[in-house]
Amino acid sequence: MKKGLIAAFFIWICFLLQSTVFQSLSFNGIVPDLMIIVTASYGFMEGEDRGIIVGLFCGLLCDIFFGEVIGFYALILMYIGYLNGKFSGGFYPDDIKLPMILIILSDFTYCVTCYVFQFMLRGKLNFPYYFSQIIIPEVIYTTVATIGLYPLILLADVGIKKKEKRGGRNFV
Amino acid sequence: MSPVVKRKGEKFTIPSKYLLFVLTLMCTVTMLMTFSTDIFNKPLNTVVGYLIVPFQKGISSVGGWFSTRAEELKEIRALKEENEELKKQVADLLAENIELQQGKYELNQLQALYEMDEQYSGYEKTGARIIARDAGNWYHSFTIDKGSNDGIEVDMNVMADGGLVGRVYSVGPNWAKVVSIINDNTNVSGKILATGDNLIVSGDLELMQKNLISFSQLLDSDGVVTNGDKIVTSDISDKYLPGILIGYINEINIDSNKLTKSGTVTPAVDFEHLSEVLVIMQLKQTVEE
Q: Looking at residue B275, which CATH number applies to its domain?
A: 2.40.10.340
**Inter-chain CB proximity A71 and B27 less than 8 Å:** yes
Q: In this model, does residue A148 exceed pLDDT 80?
A: yes
Do the beta carbons of residue B252 and residue B119 sit within 8 Å?
A: no
How far is residue A73 from each of residues A66, A93, A128, B203, measured CA to CA in Å?
Answer: 10, 28, 23, 22
- Write out chain B residues lying below 8 Å of A69, CB-based: 30-31, 34-35
Report yes or no on B44 lying in a domain: no
Q: How far apart are CA A116 and CA A125, in angstroms?
A: 9
Residue A95 pLDDT > 50, yes or no?
Answer: yes
Interface test with A, best of B38, B69, B133, B208 (most A CBs within 10 A): B133
Judge: B143–A31 Cβ closer than 8 Å, yes or no: no
How many whole angstroms separate alpha carbon B191 and alpha carbon A51?
50
Q: Which residues are within 8 A (CB) of A66 and not within 5 positions of it... i.e. 6 or more apart?
A: B134, B135, B136, B139, B141, B177
**Assigned domain for B23 exists:** no
B219 vs B259: CA distance, rounded Å: 7
Helices and strands of chain B, counted as H and E runs: 4, 12
A36-76 pLDDT, tens digit per residue, is 999 999 999 988 888 999 999 999 998 888 888 888 999 99
Q: How far apart are CA B269 and CA B277, in angstroms?
A: 10
Residue B187 lies in a domain: yes
By C-alpha distance, the chain B residue nearest A34 is B135
Q: Maximum distance among all alpha carbons in chain A?
A: 64
pLDDT of B120 above 60: no
Find the CB nearest B56 among A20, A85, A133: A20
pLDDT digits (tens, 9 = 90+) for A105-132: 999 999 999 999 888 888 888 889 889 9
pLDDT at B2: 46
Which residues lie below 8 Å from residue B24, measured CB to CB, with a gap of 6+?
A: A75, A78, A79
User: Are B177 and A65 a contacting pair at CB < 8 A?
Assistant: yes
What pLDDT is recorded for position B11?
A: 63
Tell me: the pLDDT tens digits for B268-280?
888 887 888 888 8
Condensed to tens digits (0 to 9), the pLDDT of residues B161-191 reads 778 899 999 898 999 999 999 888 889 999 8
- B228 within domain boundaries: yes
Test B31 with A75 for CB contact under 8 angstroms. yes
pLDDT of B140 higher than 50: yes
Chain A residues with CB under 8 Å of B186 CB are: none
pLDDT at position B183, please? Answer: 86
- In the stretch 16-45 of chain A, residues with CB closer than 8 A to chain B read 16-21, 23-24, 28-31, 33, 35
Q: Is residue B10 in some structural domain?
A: no
Whether residue B3 has pLDDT greater than 60: no
CA distance B99 to B104: 9
Residues in A touching B33 (Cβ below 8 Å): 70
Distance from CA of A66 to the nearest CA of B (A): 6
Give the mean model confidence (pLDDT) for residues A5-24: 87
Contact A79 B20 (CB under 8 A): yes
> Alpha-carbon distance A32 to A39, whole Å?
14
* B16 to A85: CB separation less than 8 angstroms, yes or no: yes
Q: Is residue B146 part of a domain?
A: yes
Q: How far is CA A88 from CA A80, B27, B108, in A?
A: 13, 25, 75
Cβ-proximal residues to B288 (8 Å cutoff; 6+ apart), any chain: none
Instruction: For residues A91 and A113, give the distance between their C-alpha atoms in angstroms, rounded to a whole number.
Output: 26
Average pLDDT, integer, range B124-146: 85
Decide if B218 is inside a domain. Answer: yes
pLDDT value at position A113? 93
User: How many CA atoms lie within 13 Å of B131's alpha carbon, on the beta-carbon side?
Assistant: 24
Mean model confidence pLDDT for chain B: 82
A61 and B52 within 8 Å at the Cβ level: the answer is: yes
Helices A72-85 + A34-46 axis angle, to 10:
40
User: Which of B137, B182, B183, B187 would you mutate first to test chain A, the one with the most A CBs within 10 A?
Assistant: B137
pLDDT given at position B53: 86
Domain count, chain B: 1
CB atoms closer than 10 angstroms to residue B167: 23
Query: Is B16 in Cβ contact with A66 (below 8 Å)?
Result: no
Alpha carbon distance B20, A81 (integer Å): 10
What distances in angstroms separate CA A26 from CA A134, B15, B75, B211, one per listed residue? 12, 40, 21, 16
Interface of A with B in 74-103 (CB under 8 A): 74-75, 78-79, 82, 85
Please tell me what DSSP assigns to residue A158: H
Q: What is the rounded distance in angstroms from the CA atom of residue B106 to the CA atom of residue B118?
A: 14
Cβ neighbours around B64 below 10 Å, total: 17
Residues 105-164 of A with CB under 8 A from B: 114-115, 118-119, 122, 124, 126, 129-130, 133-134, 137-138
Q: Is the pLDDT of residue B118 over 50?
A: no
Query: On the CB side of B211, how many CA atoms lie within 13 Å of its CA?
Result: 12
Contact residues, chain A, for B68 at CB < 8 Å? none
Structural domain of residue B157, as residue ranges?
Answer: 123-283
**Over residues B136-159, mean pLDDT:** 88
ipTM of predicted complex: 0.77
Residue numbers of A between 51 and 70 with CB closer than 8 Å to B: 52, 56, 61-62, 64-66, 69-70
pTM score: 0.73
Chain A nearest-CA residue for B26: A71
Task: Using CB atoms, pick whichever of A30, A35, A82 lies closest to residue B135.
Answer: A35
Query: With 80 as the cut, is the pLDDT of residue A79 above it?
Result: yes
Q: Does residue B136 form part of some domain?
A: yes
Please give the interface size between A and B, counted as residue pairs whose CB atoms are below 8 Å apart.
125
